Chain A
């Protein structure tokens, strides 16, 4: 028994070698959070671009010749949208029930 203890003690004097660092450990450690951050950044930038590109609704303007002329001269690109908005509120809806379109269709 003592002889076995002796040889055990001799064996224990030998120390197992320390293994090399796990390859690309730092990269492996960062890979998860980096992909989460990249995905979040892409999603955020897409949302911002979509928000900036949303169609602008023109401010309500008085449907007068003066204001329309001013818009046509100063912001010609907006004129079409302004006219569409004005026509929605000032012109009658010909498609409503009992409207002009329905009356004409009965003739």
Chain B
């Protein structure tokens, strides 16, 4: 094939493609819209009232079964939301955060509430920690060591404390941890969290 013949063939192919695209352009226009319109015509139309009627319609679980499922789900979400909003120490809050349980942030290292006969027991599960201590208003914020004699990762110490209110934090390998899940409340102190425990009376820290 000579050079002139190859150029002629290329030109012929390009012209054919241009004509094909031009012929298909009309049929491709608004293709997506047309498909959606077609689907819409085939689906049953249902307004808000229709949706409510469908919701209340009898099902295999009974007439109100579907409503009960939806209601229970909504109630569960509401309950979880309410609980979390009370407990999670996220962001800014006003005044001490009183707790009914462990904060989510601390559930991975659940510390248990602790009472002892001769003092207040501080317990902190801290797997792989090398040194754990507790500092607080009872020690002029000087570290008091916790021990893990059996090496199970649960660190404990017992400190005799008279009735009162005590602020404290744990120090795990040099890092402060002020959110003991067994605390009665948290406060923000110098921009960080401190745990608070009430000893004696209703506080029952000991």
Tell me, yes or no, whether A binds B: no
